[in-house]
Chain A
Amino acid sequence: MKPVFMTYTKKDLINLAVCMVLSVFVIPTFITTEYWYTSILIPWLCLALATIGQQIVMGYTGQLALGAAGFMAAGAFAMFNLILRVPDLGFVGSLIVSGLIAAAFGILFGLPSLKVRGIYLMVATLASQFFIIWMIDKFGWFKNYDSSGIITAQDIVILGKPFTTPLAMYFVCLAVTTVLTLLAMNMARGSTGRNWMAVRDMDIAAESMGVSLLRTKVQAFAISAFYCGVAGALFAFCYLKSLEPVAFDIKLSFKILFMCILGGLGTINGAFIGAAFILLFPVLLNAIGNNVFHGAIDATIISSIEQVIFGGLMIIFMIYEPLGMAKLWENIKQKWKTKIPSSTNIKSSLSKKT
């Protein structure tokens, strides 16, 4: 079973400190090429955030949803309109409000989850995906009557300071992701998360134990959509730097689903692992194609192979480790620990002997 902590342990604080030192000091000192920030680190943080949203509704609450990209689109276009029309709100304020707007959509399209589950729910959430994209596409107001179809995102300005360099944008994404990740961990470990998991494991049993299904499910959908909305806004403003509904099509939803499942359902660190894997693997495959075969393999074939491998991995993980890479990592750590007993174990075994 997954370990559940109620408060932060020493280990958590050490993990947090290590992550912060790595991301704030080590990465900016050692990585100087812009490519890494603009094409890997920034999308990684944004997509990991969206994957956490997917985790909340799918991994923790056990509701099969397939509309993450739709909520991301809602967040991104809400952000664009808020900055355009309500400039007083500022970047952070707009980010929060656009998350809330996405959450409103999440509640609306999460309502069918009270009646149905599994594949039925998946179809209901597909409705949100197609509806939101269609709505943005068809009503010119959302795009400020721009006829070209692709709108340039406004520059990020926080407290009068522009954040336009890749490094600055990376820090913006990092800050937002860190805060929301900590929040998600808190929720997952507290009573909110316990309710989610109770509903996931057996909703009827949870209800008879006094967990309100209505509240729990709607809450999960709202929070999930909030995360996706914020992630979508960051994705559009820091990574794409443009807004077009096509960028948030069903393929992105599937991608986030894959990140969530391969990373490990019901884990927060799985979201980061899964997002990193899905983002980095094509880069690696392209590098192999270019350097080993010197471009002899067509790029479309490489992307097809990538698809086959993702699909194959999905099947393999479902068969051998349905809890994904996070569990795999946990297993490796566990093995390592049993091989080399820690000092406290040795001490206690010594004290038993004497």
Chain B
Amino acid sequence: MVDELLFFMEVLVGGLLAGTMYSLVALGFVLIFKASATFNFSQGAMVFFSVLAFCGFMQDFNIPFVLAFILAAFLMVVVGLCTERFVLRPLMNASEDTVLMATIGLGYVLEGLAQAAWGVEVRRLDLGIGDFPVPWIADNLKLFISALDITAGLVAAIMIIGLFLLFKYTKIGLGLRAVADDAGAASSIGIPLKHIMLLVWSAAGVVALVAGCMWGARAGVQFALVDLALKALPVLIIGGFSSIPGAIIGGLIIGAVEKVLEVYIGPFFGGAIEGWAPYVLAIFFLLYRPEGLFGEKIIRRV
């Protein structure tokens, strides 16, 4: 009995920590959605692009770890700059769906560019953190929890606290919130819309890079990361599109439910139900609470 309980705890904790990885990707979506009410479908591609660039800098040019990270982050700022200038600004007054489709196109461009520049083969990314159980926890609590999962959890926590402070207490954060509320009104009182957009896209790019590092260390840097990033969508639906805490809670819920279902119900259906379980969970959430746990209620007028 105790063993079963321990096993359940292990599955649950593993799922929760894996969920923070989804949260990291979802965070990038939320940042952009919060500031511009744009759904950035290319976030998954940004994850892939940034981490492939990071690996490329490190492995092809032998640039040291920290410098390569800074370079990749800088590259993401450039991507943000180009996106703002060439995609978002011309589509300023277009409908939501049009911008969404344009970001799907942007995703394709980023995926193609990344593969053209750095090749299509799977790259290994070694962060110096092993994807194996931490001995100390295994000895004392009898739980097998991967060090990488714990790192991802910590990184996610730090980023969320950082972003929270940024949004809440800085002048930039105030500007961000003003733009999110009403872009027209914000620009009329002199908040530079361009700079805010650039900042948000750059921040989303850096978040994508961090998320990519975590995913890449686990599964290898490869094209499948884009599909993995799609799982951030159910996370967002559960947490709400405009809420940073929502992204975290949503990620935790998806991670935990997915793992528990996979371990306890999966074997009856031949496994691999984690491929679709998050989406079906999202559908049920949509039917009862379309705006998500922390989202704002959507009101539409004729």
Q: Do A and B bind each other?
A: yes
On whether the beta carbons of A115 and B286 are closer than 8 Å, the reply is: yes
Question: Can you offer 18 A-B residue contacts whose CB atoms are under 8 A?
Answer: A119-B39, A120-B290, A126-B279, A127-B280, A131-B276, A134-B273, A139-B270, A202-B302, A250-B227, A257-B104, A261-B101, A301-B115, A308-B116, A311-B110, A314-B104, A315-B105, A319-B102, A322-B94
On whether the beta carbons of A311 and B275 are closer than 8 Å, the reply is: no
On whether the beta carbons of B276 and A318 are closer than 8 Å, the reply is: no
Interface residue from A205, A303, A308 paired with B113 (Cβ < 8 Å): A308
Chain B residue with the shortest CB-CB distance to A126: B279
The interface residues of chain B lying within 8 Å CB-to-CB of A300 are 115, 119-120
On whether the beta carbons of B90 and A124 are closer than 8 Å, the reply is: no
The answer to whether residues A311 and B300 also contact, given A134-B272, A138-B272 and a CB cut-off of 8 A, is no
Query: What mask results when residues 263 to 307 of chain A are scored 1 for a CB within 8 Å of chain B, else 0?
Result: 000000000000000000000000000000000000011011111
On whether the beta carbons of A131 and B94 are closer than 8 Å, the reply is: no
On whether the beta carbons of A112 and B287 are closer than 8 Å, the reply is: yes
On whether the beta carbons of B109 and A130 are closer than 8 Å, the reply is: no
Pairs of residues from A and B, 3 with the lowest C-beta to C-beta distance, nearest first: A314-B105, A311-B108, A307-B112
* Range class of the A interface residue count: 35 or more
CB interface residues, A 97-134, toward B, < 8 Å: 112, 115-116, 118-120, 122-124, 126-127, 130-131, 134
On whether the beta carbons of A318 and B94 are closer than 8 Å, the reply is: yes
Interface residue from B101, B113, B116 paired with A318 (Cβ < 8 Å): B101
Interface residue from A118, A124, A250 paired with B100 (Cβ < 8 Å): A118
On whether the beta carbons of B279 and A204 are closer than 8 Å, the reply is: no
Nearest CB of B to A105, in Å: 13
B239 sits at the interface (CB 8 A): no
B61 sits at the interface (CB 8 A): no
A-B contact count (CB 8 A): 136
The answer for the CA separation of A127 and B231 in the assembled complex, in Å, is 11
On whether the beta carbons of B282 and A123 are closer than 8 Å, the reply is: yes
The interface residues of chain B lying within 8 Å CB-to-CB of A62 are 97
The interface residues of chain A lying within 8 Å CB-to-CB of B131 are none
Query: What mask results when residues 39 to 65 of chain A are scored 1 for a CB within 8 Å of chain B, else 0?
Result: 000000000000000000000001010
On whether the beta carbons of B275 and A134 are closer than 8 Å, the reply is: yes
On whether the beta carbons of B286 and A126 are closer than 8 Å, the reply is: no
Interface residue from B39, B86, B113, B119 paired with A315 (Cβ < 8 Å): B86
Interface residue from B109, B115, B301 paired with A311 (Cβ < 8 Å): B109
On whether the beta carbons of A124 and B101 are closer than 8 Å, the reply is: no
On whether the beta carbons of B97 and A308 are closer than 8 Å, the reply is: no
Binding site for A on B (CB under 8 A): 39, 41, 86-87, 90-91, 94, 96-102, 104-113, 115-116, 119-120, 227, 230, 233-234, 237, 241, 269-273, 275-276, 279-280, 282-283, 286-287, 290, 300-302
A344 sits at the interface (CB 8 A): no
The interface residues of chain B lying within 8 Å CB-to-CB of A130 are 275-276, 279
The answer for the CA separation of A139 and B39 in the assembled complex, in Å, is 36
The answer for the CA separation of A309 and B109 in the assembled complex, in Å, is 7
On whether the beta carbons of A115 and B109 are closer than 8 Å, the reply is: no
On whether the beta carbons of B276 and A134 are closer than 8 Å, the reply is: yes
On whether the beta carbons of A308 and B104 are closer than 8 Å, the reply is: no
On whether the beta carbons of B108 and A314 are closer than 8 Å, the reply is: yes
The answer for the CA separation of A124 and B285 in the assembled complex, in Å, is 10
On whether the beta carbons of A315 and B302 are closer than 8 Å, the reply is: no
The answer for the CA separation of A319 and B106 in the assembled complex, in Å, is 12
A163 sits at the interface (CB 8 A): no
Nearest CB of A to B115, in Å: 4
Chain B residue with the shortest CB-CB distance to A298: B119
Given A308-B113, A311-B110, list of 19 further CB < 8 A pairs?
A112-B287, A116-B290, A118-B97, A119-B241, A120-B237, A123-B283, A124-B286, A127-B283, A138-B270, A204-B300, A250-B230, A254-B104, A257-B104, A304-B116, A307-B108, A311-B105, A315-B87, A315-B109, A319-B87
The answer to whether residues A123 and B237 also contact, given A131-B276, A311-B108, A314-B101 and a CB cut-off of 8 A, is yes
Nearest CB of B to A6, in Å: 27
